[in-house]
Chain A
Amino acid sequence: DAMVIQNPRYQVTQFGKPVTLSCSQTLNHNVMYWYQQKSSQAPKLLFHYYDKDFNNEADTPDNFQSRRPNTSFCFLDIRSPGLGDAAMYLCATSLFKQGLDTEAFFGQGTRLTVV
């Protein structure tokens, strides 16, 4: 059973048109992450939520935003996609509490194409 679910698997958007990618999890993990993986490159962390606390990486462009309305869901909003934003976007979750820190569990990713 899928535990970290990303929808859609493939997304095509127009240059400059806002787009939202979604991620849901059934693991009840308190930390959720968004990674960007461009073709033939390593995944790169954009930001993460620890519970409701949002943590942006220093080099994440302002064009990328995120929302986490509840524990189970997290969204990635790209306000004005450019051609350079075409990539696979990976959502991940992990559980952190005193004495326990699990590894990250990844979804299957959403491949974004910008036309």
Chain B
Amino acid sequence: AQKVTQAQTEISVVEKEDVTLDCVYETRDTTYYLFWYKQPPSGELVFLIRRNSFDEQNEISGRYSWNFQKSTSSFNFTITASQVVDSAVYFCALSEYGGATNKLIFGTGTLLAVQP
């Protein structure tokens, strides 16, 4: 069975601090996709990144970086120099690879509160 675990329910930081959101996944598939989505108070899910299981390279995009480690089944997300606008719920998700769909299995989310 596929499962995504985000052990951190809530994190509170002060602006400009770095913060890492943890994600651990379980799957029997040898190939799969991993995702991070941001859900601000307005409700829509905003896509941040998709990583396929073939590619274990870490990725950096501005203040965001992702650390994918297949050996520990983890796909952690770091925000550097956090800002108030980063306050949101962040979801890690898993899907099958190669199918015609984005059938996402979501973790329970981490609520990030960035205080000014």
Contacts and interface: CB of A to CB of B under 8 A. Distances in A.
A107 B47 contact: no
Interface residues of A, number: 26
Given A103-B35, A103-B47, A107-B44, A42 B108 contact: yes
A94 B43 CA distance: 19
Contacts, number: 59
B106 A42 contact: yes
Contacts of A50: 100-101
A108 B106 contact: no
Nearest to A51: B100
Interface in A43-70: 43-45, 48, 50, 55
Nearest to B6: A42
Contacts of B91: 42-43
A45 B104 contact: yes
A12 interface: no
B63 interface: no
A105 B43 contact: no
B109 A96 contact: no
Contact of B103 (A42, A45, A103): A45
Interface in B36-50: 37, 42-47, 50
Nearest to B44: A108
A88 interface: yes
A81 interface: no
Contacts of B35: 103
Interface of B: 35, 37, 42-47, 50, 91, 98, 100-104, 106-109
Interface of A: 31, 33, 35, 41-45, 48, 50, 55, 88, 90, 92, 94, 96, 101-109, 111
